[in-house]
A and B are shown apart, each in its own frame.
Chain A
């Protein structure tokens, strides 16, 4: 079932592997696997590093255009050199560490955060046969390594020797562990349907087409759509993005756990946040949006890594769109939203998926009743839970002076 690259696949599809082979060709035979892995690592790091630089610029431009202004447009054409200017600024800033701070932990916090964020890139399938680490428990690896980022947040807050940083780090930790639960429960339905944790197999299982134009992605099933929405909301909160960016907002406890960081360490924190955002979007693409599959049978001539890139970039643009639109949530609103809305909804989605799987062999005639029952199982709890969540808060009325 796993596709291996056939020699009759189009040339563009095989191009990355051909290039890699051209490099390892010159080395002796025992070094081939090591060299292949090293080239994969270098390519992943450089591509996603460049993507981080472009993302910072894209975010400022998109936010600017939504707010009736251009973003940066003075440094180079359309501000293309702005990320490099920002990098130079961050590198040349003085690195101030408080005297009473824990110097080892102060340095270790952004480094371990970045290390954990980069490690998560290893299992995402970027294209056919383009995955750095093809293990059986890929999804579990991703979230296990991703949960090591919470420790770095605590280290950052603790080592600053600053009461406000510690309090803000505690709040950030509370947010991270509250949203970890819906994040993980939301992709369990995918594992239930695919009966495997391996990301390459999950992407392969989504590669069929109905009538040539309807892809079999999991997002187009009722339970998959709910799971995708839950995953995206939890991913927003896990990577500290608006509207859940309480830990890093400038007006909240003076930049929170990042108060005592300046210069390159500050840049490392933001690099880790963008990497986390990109990795979670990559997971969402692989789990729900069909990974590197084309949306229709007639578009498969476009290579798989380009489809992955298109889907990833559209999810990231969606993140920025959401940032431009919604106001920030308070910490009690955050935690209430996670525990009283997302967790029950994700657990009910498990039940819905179980029903969907167990009713698979009812026959084609029963498709509509199946769909109706599934939709009821989704919509009714959603309405009840959102009513309960919004109870006690009146709709805001505005009175103006006469």
Chain B
């Protein structure tokens, strides 16, 4: 009432002014673009396609063109063209592959539904936010070559998620390999049995 509150207010702002030169908690500005803030791990901007090899990116895509993400996308911004032939995937089984995979990033709302429904862990969310372009339609339509990024890149941007995916895929691969080994062993034994019985000549 007698002006003491005014003096106290002045001391608070004075302290803030003086300490803003050396105390980082009183100078909370991050001066973009010299200092970029690191987004948290669950941050998502636009999808990208994971590929397992760096030397032949488009050949080692995990995507098998099952068209699930195209059907589930609420904004209907994914356009996939399935191939006519099949190529072997990481487990050795022949799979289709997408000849065209287009995402319209001006429509995409980063909802991550395509990531959630993909059974093959082939589409994941990227973290780039500096995607401003100067033409409205051509450069915002991301085609397959622009969408393809390697698994090492995925490890860089989301380490724990990439590790979890890799572990799961490795475990599945191990199960599949063991199953294949068991089957091969059974087949080999059956072949050996057939080879033993076989030498009876037909009259």
Contact = CB atoms under 8 A, between A and B. Distances in A.
Given A383-B2, A386-B1, A386-B2, A68 B27 contact: yes
B21 to A, nearest CB: 7
Contacts of B10: 321-322, 325
Contacts, number: 45
Contact of A386 (B3, B13, B20, B28): B3
Nearest to B8: A325
Contact of A66 (B2, B3, B6, B13): B13
A321 B11 CA distance: 10
A76 interface: no
> What band does the interface of chain A fall in when counting residues whose beta carbon is under 8 Å from B?
10 to 19
Of B14, B17, B21, B26, most buried by chain A (CB within 10 Å of CB) is B17
B130 interface: no
Interface of A: 62, 65-70, 73, 321-322, 324-326, 382-383, 386-387, 390
Q: Is the interface of A mostly helix, strand, loop or mixed?
A: helix
A326 B9 contact: yes
B8 to A, nearest CB: 10
B31 interface: yes
B13 A69 contact: no
Given A382-B2, A386-B1, A387-B1, A68 B16 contact: yes
7 contacts: A65-B20, A66-B20, A70-B27, A321-B10, A325-B13, A383-B2, A387-B1
Contacts of A387: 1
B29 interface: yes
B1 A321 contact: no
Contacts of A390: 1
A68 B17 CA distance: 8
Contact of B20 (A68, A73, A326, A382): A68
A221 B3 CA distance: 20
A69 B14 contact: no
A69 B16 CA distance: 10
A279 to B, nearest CB: 24
B21 A325 contact: no
Nearest to B12: A325
A57 to B, nearest CB: 16
A78 to B, nearest CB: 12
A70 B17 CA distance: 11
A66 B17 contact: yes
Contact of B29 (A69, A321, A382, A386): A69
Contacts of A66: 13, 16-17, 20
A387 B6 CA distance: 16
